Amino acid sequence: MTISKFYILAFCCGIVFFTSCKDPKEYSVDSSFTDYLQRFENEGAARGHQFDPKSKGLIIEFGDLSNNDAGLTHYETPVRIQIDRKYWAAISKTAGADLMKEDLIFHELGHGLLSRDHLNSTLENGDWKSIMCGGTAVNNRPWNINYRGIRRAYYLDELFKESTPTPVFASLVLPIDTTGYSKMLFLSFNTELKTDAGWPITDDPTHSTSIDNGRLRFQSKVDSVYMVLVKTYTSTQSDFSYQLTLEYSSTKGSDQYGIIFGDIPSGSDVSSDPIDYFTVNNNQKMYMGNRSWYSFFTELSRTVILPGGKNVLKVVKAGSMLYYFINGSYCYCSETEVLVSGNQFGFLVPPKGTVLVDNLLISVKGSSKISTRSKQNIQLEFNMQTTGKFHQNSIPNR
């Protein structure tokens, strides 16, 4: 009995000795994260928050996280943050990596240094209200957050002060005048003659096109996303309005279809080309993003989307901003990521999907000096490419 008590006592003392060896003020931050930590300190200081993690202790390290987690904060002494190494490596290969990394690190530091919980409410336009969104899923919505441009300043203000007022961009009242755009190109496909379609009518192993009751019918025959573009006389750097009517009837409600614009140089790697997209699906979700980014910027629910019906998608560019419309209703605004010269406009077709296209209309602000090209038999140059991946990923949990 005495021996047993001795061993029990020794074992317990060993636990106390082992746990007491951990320095409660340990500072160990992987070099991959030091710049983001310094940014956090600087942004906090600008808003009245002072941090001294080197003296008070902090651990930020890579880990192999499970449960589709991108980051995980352990409320230990000191606070320990783990970042999933596979996710970090994946976003590092794409455009927008710096902002996506900042978003992730700031979210975890919001937990660890600001003691903030998850906040999963939304703004009027459907944007997540806070960079602190995460945790338990809300209506299966992904955690993609449009953390860029005019939104970044708001999200930083809200991170350090939860009572930050609602931002202007959250309003669903259209903030600009969309008049004064002159027609540059119009295709209605209202013909049964191949020569008058204004579009190549073809049938090959990868896809087929035809005129179907006054609409262009594009059928994909491959397990890849199809990008279908037409080269125009309109620069994507100008202020333009691009409108297209699309119908996609499919039982796969999550399939995204919609409009795209930017540039794909001949023979280029389409995975890195700056193509902006505005897509919807038959589950009444809308998305916007750029081909070169890891993921779409955010997902929004819009009841104006007609599942399986004719949906008129429109994007108006004014300066660096894009304004999105569905069936005549203003839905959202965001910055363009097409920052180089381009002149291609088109649409996106899901794998082995069939899309009916009508009334392709491109207009330019103040383009009265340029002659209107509205005939059905004009000679246009087309660019049809498949891509296995479109970087429309949902980001992991934080």
- CA-CA distance, 219 to 206, in Å (whole number)? 9
Q: Is residue 369 part of a domain?
A: yes
| Residue 22 confidence class, pLDDT cut points 50, 70, 90 | confident
- pLDDT on residue 384: 84
Whether residue 94 is found in the same domain as residue 148: yes
Structurally, how many domains does the chain consist of?
Answer: 2
CATH of the domain at 215: 2.60.120.560
Whether residue 288 is found in the same domain as residue 342: yes
- pLDDT on residue 269: 59
Q: Of 127, 143, 170, which residue constitutes the final position of a domain?
A: 170
Q: Is residue 394 part of a domain?
A: no
Whether residue 147 is found in the same domain as residue 202: no
- pLDDT on residue 20: 44
Whether residue 267 is found in the same domain as residue 236: yes
The whole-model pTM stands at 0.90
Whether residue 44 is found in the same domain as residue 156: yes
Containing structural domain, residue 254:
181-387
Distances (CA, A) of 282 to 108, 298, 311: 34, 17, 10
Tens of pLDDT along 157-187?
Answer: 999 999 999 999 999 999 999 999 999 999 8
Whether residue 151 is found in the same domain as residue 197: no
Tens of pLDDT along 30-53?
Answer: 999 999 999 999 999 999 999 999
User: Strand locations in 249-328, DSSP E?
Assistant: 257-262, 276-280, 285-290, 298-301, 310-318, 321-326
The mean per-residue pLDDT over the stretch 373-383 comes to 58
Please determine, for residue 10, whether its predicted confidence score (pLDDT) is greater than 90: no
Q: Of 170, 197, 220, which residue constitutes the final position of a domain?
A: 170
The mean per-residue pLDDT over the stretch 14-38 comes to 77
Q: Cα 20 from chain centroid?
A: 46
Whether residue 330 is found in the same domain as residue 267: yes
Whether residue 201 is found in the same domain as residue 162: no
- pLDDT on residue 247: 98
Contact 27, 57 (CB under 8 A): yes
Whether residue 55 is found in the same domain as residue 194: no
